[in-house]
Structure 1
């Protein structure tokens, strides 16, 4: 059994792959609960058993910006501030769940690898994206891996849109860049810093992280709150077609731009919003002008793709998506 664990804004998601068919999403644990009780005690029974019995696990934690390879957990612990992070601060609210998760997995003793973030130190990154220090965290490699598994092309744009929006460019089957949540289109909760945000930061009214954490569509709608564990579901359930169309247009702008510039054939959309018919209807209509194919991925695509990467690692692969795998001596 190969397991993928996505440490995301709205919770920690677990998927498993048995080597045949498609990966299966097994369950999710709220970040607050994991911070208080630990990962295994917070997961549904099936997901917990999969983690405990896994042959190999691939997971992401934080930004992953001190890693340039898929790295064994015990090696990553000594990098940067710890577990592949150059700094424990970052973008978004912190609960302590991720740190507790990686410590628990380390103690469990199963073979586990951390996915690196996509940042300017990755050897395969296109030069244009090196302007930015960071373009995506490690779970987006999982989303891209699942998309490639399902795609008929090796030249695609993969977008994960949920609490935030992040898009990744894949050329010839390798990740060469992307647009991070603080750079391009907003998500439901988080988004880029605009002029108003810069002025408020300079005036000392809020921090840059605070501005990012509330820079999504929530700042102009009244149908969703700012709790990271509930904002996306509130947006889906309570917001109308108009609000979803606003966000879909912004996401389409980001995805279409990358597709045109890098001559990509297909667009694959993951994240929680990929399960909303109204949102996806607008996105597919607009993006069909720029791509030969526009398709949705399961909302849990990151964890499912990380499970596929865990299987790749266990099979002896030297790299995945152009990112090297660090092997134990």
Structure 2
């Protein structure tokens, strides 16, 4: 059995697959707050119980954690310092749950690898390195799941949920990505606009606090996706505008990555995948289809965990490279 762990914004998601491709996929999620409250010694038992398996059944776990900007390759967890990050400071929510899960896996004596993020120093298009960070490790899992699903060589994945991140793959290798604090807003997070910069400079909030409240929900009365969708179902114009906005900017971000891929390969890339809790909403899919003239494939919110499990499976089968990332295991 192979396990993938997605360190998401609101939850840590786990998926397991067996040797026979993706039959009998099992999955569950654990809130980051609840994980933070657990004893490290109980976490592995919790995972094993949900997958109805023993330690001897697990061949390899693929783990993601935070930004993943401390490593450039897929690494053996035993050789990774600082959980594979330069610092936990920066853009994002911190609860301690992801760290607990990471440490539990590392101390379990079960074989595991750590997936990197894409950032300055990675073997991607160097023009994208004008930004220090492009995407966190769970997006690698999503991209690999897209690759395993249809065996496309060239494609784009946009993960739309609390934030929006888009990844481009050319000739089976990740060549660039646009991170959440650069272009498209998500539900809760987004890039800092002029007013946000003024608020940071005047001490109203920190840069991270500004980022955490720069999504489309800031201009609505709603605090989460559930309440937003309830309002959409009641034809509330403000709620519909929020979904229209997130769809427009996600399409713009996808178009941006299409420009990058077209510069590397003249064949137009028409394989577009959406992931995340917002990326699987039919209204959003339809709006992005309208903007792009292409119907996206929908992967869903479990694609990162499943893709990481697929990475673990294929490393055990002898792969030494995943989407252009070297495997050191």
The normalised TM-score by structure 2 is 0.90
In 2, the alpha carbon distance for the partners of 1:326 and 1:277 equals 40
SS in 1 for 2:83: coil
SS in 2 for 1:177: strand
CA deviations on 1:175-218 (whole Å, 9 max, x unpaired) are 01100000010100110000000000000110000000111111
1:156-305 map, 5 Å:
156-223=155-222, 225=223, 231-239=224-232, 240-263=239-262, 264-288=269-293, 291=294, 294-305=296-307
Corresponding residue for 2:154?
155
SS in 2 for 1:325: strand
CA deviations on 1:75-97 (whole Å, 9 max, x unpaired) are 11x3xxx1111112121120001
CA contact (8 A) 1:65 1:118 kept: yes
Matched, 1:322 2:324: yes
In 1, the alpha carbon distance for the partners of 2:250 and 2:301 equals 16
18-27 or 312-321, larger mean C-alpha shift: 18-27
In 2, the alpha carbon distance for the partners of 1:286 and 1:51 equals 48
Gaps of 5+ in 1: 226-230
Gaps of 5+ in 2: 233-238, 263-268
In 2, the alpha carbon distance for the partners of 1:147 and 1:134 equals 22
SS in 2 for 1:16: strand
CA contact (8 A) 1:34 1:42 kept: no
CA contact (8 A) 2:15 2:26 kept: yes
SS in 2 for 1:108: coil
Corresponding residue for 2:50?
46
The normalised TM-score by structure 1 is 0.90
Cα 1:43/1:276, change in 2 over 3 Å:
farther
CA contact (8 A) 2:12 2:31 kept: yes
Corresponding residue for 1:309?
311
CA contact (8 A) 1:40 1:48 kept: no
Corresponding residue for 1:100?
100
The number of equivalent residue pairs is: 313
CA contact (8 A) 2:6 2:138 kept: yes
In 1, the alpha carbon distance for the partners of 2:46 and 2:254 equals 35
In 2, the alpha carbon distance for the partners of 1:308 and 1:83 equals 21
Matched, 1:68 2:72: yes
161-170 or 259-268, larger mean C-alpha shift: 259-268
SS in 1 for 2:272: strand
- The Cα shift of 1:273 comes to 1.3
